[in-house]
A and B are shown apart, each in its own frame.
Chain A
Amino acid sequence: MLDTNQLFPFLMSGLGFGAVYAMSGTGLLVLYRTTGVLNFSFGAIGAFGASLTWSTIENEWAPDWVAYLICIAFCALITLGYGVILAPRYANRDDLNKMLGTLGLALILLGFMFNLWNTEDARVFRLPTGTRRMQIEWFCNAEGKDCVFDARITYTQVLAVVFALVVAAGVTIYLQRTKMGTAMRAIANDREVASLLGIPVRRVEAAAWLGSGILCGIVGLLLVDLFGSLDVVLMTWFVIPSLAPVLVGRLRHLWVAFFAAFAIGVVEAELNASTWDWPSLYRKTTAYVVAIGALLWFARKRNLVISGRSTR
């Protein structure tokens, strides 16, 4: 049973999270295709950057906009640093061990966050878009009441959806039209052949790491606003449900992942609109169920079998 009055506001909320899944997914997917690394520290890096922003705002070290830039700069720097210093050392490992390397980074960052900040306490900062709200009232009756579509959303939710779309479209165009993008696609297909063809593999990979890092910082800031507080544990492991749409896209198809992300976000939210208990209680399994279902469906044809690289 669904409460029809609730469908629309829940849809709006679901789109906001769908957008975050989509952005994280885009960052994870492009990086994986270019470098073979599924970056599990994506969430931890974002949480660390957001914590720096919180400290800057709380202690009034700098204006708010500088604090936001600090987050993005930190995430870009750490991600690039990992990509340039550590990642090449794992170049001869399979995708699995490359992923384990980023898990190590996630643990280290989480440990430092626990030690540097009082992470037990409530820590809050709001983006300027988070405190401004928009009332949607579409298809109302003559008195402007009983609208068919009636919801309140924050500008952060709007920003997230728009930004996700811009990122996905931008990345697509970039990969298709620019020299660097072509190089990334070449590396994604075959690293060694690309290298033999004279493509500067290291530099292209570094560019992918940098782009993914910037995205990570932006997602981090948006997540603080969408969650309502800075919760580093939640943010660090938010990477796990974010992987679900990427898996639906078989770690390959950007737009499949993009739409899967919104679908997961919306379904998860709409399940809470149900008046039955259990769909609402277990709504958080949506991303996992979708990912598992998709993978098992793919496994049916055995086309993902046999070692790492051939699947990319």
Chain B
Amino acid sequence: MSAVTDGSDVSTIAARPNADAPTLFSQRNIKRAAIGAALLAIAMFAMPALTSTYWVKNFTSAAILAIVAGATGMLYGRVGLVALGQMAIYGMSTWITVRLSFATDWPFPILILIAAMIATVFGVILGLPALRLSGIYLSLITLMSAAGFLVILSEAKFANGGPGFKGLVREVTNRGEMRRPDIAESDFSYYRYVLVVMVVMYLLALLHLVGKPGRAWASIKQSEAAALAAGVNTTTYKLWAWALASFMTGIAGGLLAAHVKSPSTFPFFVEQNIILIAVVVMGGVISLWGGIVSGLLAAVLPELLQKWGFSDRWSLILFGVGLTANLLITSAQLNKAGIKE
């Protein structure tokens, strides 16, 4: 039983760190790849044909959030780090992408790569000392960073084609929009573009998980002291995970910029970090599929609630209940197994 192939929370928490790592080309993995490819094809071609622009836009939001959720879930489920500040990295990358889009005529992929890398650097600069802190301190420092960042972002605002560092227009007219990649101008094609990027990001994460970093993370999650004793350079590997998650989140931020074209600070509000962690826990943090579920929960569930005639404010309650239920179930299972974290 390994961390990658197992679906249940508890048995993995209990799993030995160096239990048989899966080989990349096992029959099971090939089968899973085929299923994944089929699902992707359906998502890319059948879904847009069957629904409307409205749903395509919502699924685009879901796919972008799935990248952030996947990164956050990976940190939580695989390394044991609860990041409550992902939205700051997400927002920083969005801001940089928008600003660069007005300042340069570089191709879109370059824009988001640069933005994601700058966001990663910031994430690492903060992470390097912060990762020396354990559990709850690390979470709180990330939350504090996100709250502080929001103050700065609210003041800076998002560029709309004006002059200066901030790039803000002060008149009524001549306001610009973030551009999209040439091959994905329409909402439908941009949706497919986002899906492809999402898959690339997930493959990048998977590549890490099945390799040496994945094994190191598993041992850190099991017991940092034991990992240290076993010769794992815990700080390096934690930082590695941190940087990877920051990069994925940064890419998502760039995608968001072109998705909404005129971003505002709302998606980066402090409470969004809390909602993110709630949907990540609800979606499941062991399998990467959980990230996709989380993205759907965050972006599509509120719309469905509305469609069914409920206020989408019920989604907050559902997220709270989901988080609580998940914690209760996993705690009961741990209890039964006689494990104390």
Contacts and interface: CB of A to CB of B under 8 A. Distances in A.
Answer yes or no: are A and B bound together in one complex: yes
Interface of A: 38, 40, 86, 89-90, 92-97, 99-101, 103-112, 114-115, 233, 236-237, 240-241, 243-244, 247, 251, 281-282, 284-285, 287-289, 291-292, 295-296, 298-300, 302, 304-308, 311
A99 B145 CA distance: 18
A240 B134 contact: no
Nearest to A288: B148
Nearest to A94: B341
A111 B317 contact: yes
A99 B140 CA distance: 10
B224 interface: yes
Contacts of B225: 306-307
A288 B334 CA distance: 35
A103 B270 contact: no
29 contacts: A92-B335, A93-B327, A93-B334, A94-B136, A95-B136, A104-B321, A105-B324, A107-B278, A111-B317, A237-B271, A240-B143, A240-B147, A244-B144, A247-B140, A285-B151, A288-B144, A288-B147, A288-B148, A291-B141, A291-B144, A295-B133, A295-B137, A295-B140, A295-B141, A296-B141, A299-B133, A302-B132, A304-B132, A307-B224
Interface stretch (B25-33, B165-173, B308-316): B308-316
A243 B84 CA distance: 14
B297 to A, nearest CB: 13
B331 A89 contact: yes
Contacts of B315: 111
Contacts of B145: 288, 292
B121 to A, nearest CB: 17
Interface centre among A90, A101, A104, A109 (most CB of B within 10 A): A104
A78 B320 CA distance: 15
A105 B335 contact: no
B327 A105 contact: no
A287 B148 CA distance: 8
Contact of B278 (A104, A237, A289): A104
A288 B140 CA distance: 10
B341 A92 contact: yes
Nearest to B321: A108
Interface centre among A92, A100, A108, A236 (most CB of B within 10 A): A100
B324 A108 contact: yes
Contacts of B316: 107-108, 110-111, 114
A7 to B, nearest CB: 23
Interface of B is mostly: helix
A165 to B, nearest CB: 26
B43 interface: no
Interface string B97-110: 00000000000000
B133 A105 contact: no
Nearest to A246: B140
A103 B278 contact: yes
A105 B224 contact: no
Contacts of A92: 331, 334-335, 339-341
B332 interface: yes
A97 B113 CA distance: 34
A104 B327 contact: yes
Given A288-B148, A295-B133, A307-B134, A114 B323 contact: no
A289 B148 contact: yes
B134 A311 contact: yes
A93 B339 CA distance: 9
Contacts of A291: 140-141, 144
Interface in B119-177: 129-130, 132-137, 139-141, 143-145, 147-148, 151-152, 155
Contact of B152 (A103, A114, A282): A282
A89 B316 CA distance: 23
Nearest to A107: B320
Contacts of B140: 38, 243, 247, 291, 295
Contact of B224 (A237, A251, A284, A306): A306
Contacts of A285: 148, 151-152
Given A101-B324, A295-B141, A305-B132, A112 B148 contact: no
